[in-house]
Amino acid sequence: MTGFRGRLLLGAALVAAAMVLAPLVFWRTLPLAGCEARRATLYQGPLPERLELLVDVGVLRIQPGQAGEAVVVAEYCGGVAWSVDAAGEAVRIVVEHPESGRVSLGAPRLVVTLYLPRGLTAGELRLEAGTGAVEVRGVEAAALTVRVGVGGVEGRGVRVLRVLNVSVGVGSIVFDGLYMPVNASASLVVGVGSAALTLDAEGAAVEAGGGLQSLHTACRPAAGPVLRVRVEVGSADIACRG
């Protein structure tokens, strides 16, 4: 009975998550009629030791850029506002809509892209989206923190040298080709949804928690890196390729 009720709970939760995410998918992929596309450079300068990017509703993208400096560009239509706070070796950028908290087909479109200098290792990156997606590709950082309320996180060819922390309330986490040295650690947390990670290593220390309905791991037990995975309702798939 317990197994049946667990599967029933999982199915109901995933259906609810799909209903929440469906408007977001259409919002991200369909052009908005009567909306004038705009582009603004929010930051251009040296790569700070700590860089934070926060959006209420939108897409955050991190990828390699040109050598020499970091650039943050916003592409949007509709009304958005932003603030840039720089203090010493820290830069914090917040982009938000005047009327946030609602996702619909008529919501303004927003994509914020951070171009990191080629050949440089970022210090601490913190990325946060209330509703939307975070996409990280081909970059290296000492520490990376990603938080999404409703949506997803996707990483391709990412190198994290110390600490990786990723959490999603409703949605998914996918990392393919993640490199972490043996003394590094990662934490993946999902409320309702799934987590999938492929690590560029022969083995890892995998610790699972939460109400995982299923966990599949293809990593040889090793001292490190340490991967902590917690999914309250859903599944996790961890693989290693050395």
CATH number at residue 115: 2.160.20
Instruction: Identify the CA nearest to 182 among candidates 224, 124, 216, 218.
Output: 224
- As for how many domains the chain has, the answer is 1
Residue 77: what pLDDT?
85
pTM of the model: 0.84
Instruction: Identify the CA nearest to 51 among candidates 143, 154, 159, 148.
Output: 143
Instruction: Quickly state the pLDDT bin for 209 (edges 50, 70, 90).
Output: confident
The answer, yes or no, to whether residue 100 has pLDDT greater than 60, is no
The mean pLDDT of 155-181, rounded to a whole number, is: 98
3-class DSSP assignment, residue 98? coil
Range of the domain at 161: 2-240
Task: Compute the C-alpha angle 165/12/213, nearest 5°.
Answer: 50
Residue 78: what pLDDT?
79
Instruction: Quickly state the pLDDT bin for 64 (edges 50, 70, 90).
Output: very high
Instruction: Identify the CA nearest to 175 among candidates 193, 147, 192, 195.
Output: 195
Instruction: Quickly state the pLDDT bin for 99 (edges 50, 70, 90).
Output: low
The answer, yes or no, to whether residue 26 has pLDDT greater than 50, is no
Place of tokens 């929440």: 20
Distance from C-alpha of 23 to C-alpha of 152, rounded to nearest angstrom:
14
Distance from C-alpha of 65 to C-alpha of 104, rounded to nearest angstrom:
32
Exposed e or buried b per residue across 21-30, where buried means at least 16 C-beta atoms within 10 angstroms of its C-beta: beebeebeee
Instruction: Identify the CA nearest to 141 among candidates 157, 121, 164.
Output: 121
Question: Following CA atoms 159, 163, 169, 174 in sequence, which dihedral angle do they give, to the nearest 10 degrees?
Answer: 20
Residue 29: what pLDDT?
37
Question: Lowest-pLDDT range, 28-32, 67-71, 161-165, 172-176?
Answer: 28-32
Tokens for 17? 């998550």
DSSP letters, 28-84, are HHSPPTT---EEEEEEEES--SEEEEEEEEEEEEEEE--SS-EEEEEEEES--EEEE
pLDDT in tens, 83-95: 999 998 999 999 9
The answer, yes or no, to whether residue 96 has pLDDT greater than 50, is yes
Dihedral sign from CA coordinates of 198, 200, 202, 204: negative
